Amino acid sequence: MRPLRTQLQALVAEIGAADAAIIDSASPIVWCCAHGEATSHARTASEQLVMTPQLQQAIRLLQLSRLELIEEIRRECEANPVLDDEAPPAPVPAPAPPPPADVWTPAETRLHLRAAILRVRETRELREVPKGATFEHVDDANRQFVAFSFAAIYVLVVVAPRDVDLHRTRQAFDARRAEIEALVSALSLPSSPA
């Protein structure tokens, strides 16, 4: 049996996603992630992601459309006279070619995964799922993440920089579900010092 992280990495590669995580639906624990450093370790209640004002603002700004972002910048410039939305005329070096639209940097991937996990945990339907029933969630705003519940208390969250193919993701997860369930069930919480 391959390790849980390897299973998640294979799932991510097969469906062309950026990352995937297994979370506990009833606690702040993140059991495992396919990629990333900080997000790949289990978090106990004392190690929750701290939603700083800067992170909240970054998540809010990431969800804005281009027009909404321009309007937000305009409002900020009007509210703060020190800010200037007009760039001073200066020679500008040739811009670097933009990264492909369907690729995130590792930092962007971590941010999107954390935001998706927070949104899944805030989803009313997840809190109301009877024990043993399944939960499936697709991000309606931009279809960049999906979530599936399994083994009564775990949720797989998958993020991608483009629309997630729900059918393909479900098939790939179903093919690995039994092994992933066994691997997650074998994990135990880190022991706390007495």
C-alpha to C-alpha distance for 83 and 77, rounded to whole angstroms: 5
pLDDT of res. 41: 37
C-alpha 125/C-alpha 135 separation (Å) is: 7
Burial 121-132 (b: 16+ CB within 10 A, else e): bebeebeebeee
Spatial distance between the Cα atoms of 56 and 63, rounded to a whole number of angstroms: 11
pLDDT tens over the chain, length 194 residues? 578 889 999 999 998 888 999 988 878 888 888 985 433 333 333 344 566 777 777 777 777 788 887 888 888 888 877 766 565 555 666 666 655 556 778 888 888 888 888 888 887 777 776 655 667 777 666 667 888 888 778 888 888 887 777 888 889 998 998 999 888 888 765 555 54
Q: What is the pLDDT of residue 86?
A: 61
Contacts of 60 (CB under 8 A, 6+ apart): none
User: What gap in Å lies between CA 103 and CA 84, rounded to an integer?
Assistant: 31
- Please say whether the beta carbons of 9 and 33 come within 8 A: no
Note whether 178 and 151 are within 8 A (CB). no
For residues 12 and 19, the answer to whether their CB atoms sit within 8 Å is: yes
pLDDT the model gives residue 139? 67
Domains recognised in the chain with CATH numbers: 4-82+104-186 (3.30.450)
pLDDT of 175: 92
DSSP track, the chain: ---HHHHHHHHHHHHT-SEEEEEETTSS-EEEESS-SGGGS---GGGPPP--HHHHHHHHHHTS-HHHHHHHHHHHHHH-TT--SSPPP---PPPPPPPPTT---HHHHHHHHHHHHHHHHH-HHHHTPPTT---EEE-TTT--EEEEEETTTEEEEEE-SS---HHHHHHHHHHHHHHHHHHHHH--PPPPP-
Query: CB-based contacts of 129: which residues, under 8 Å, 6+ apart?
Result: 25, 135, 149
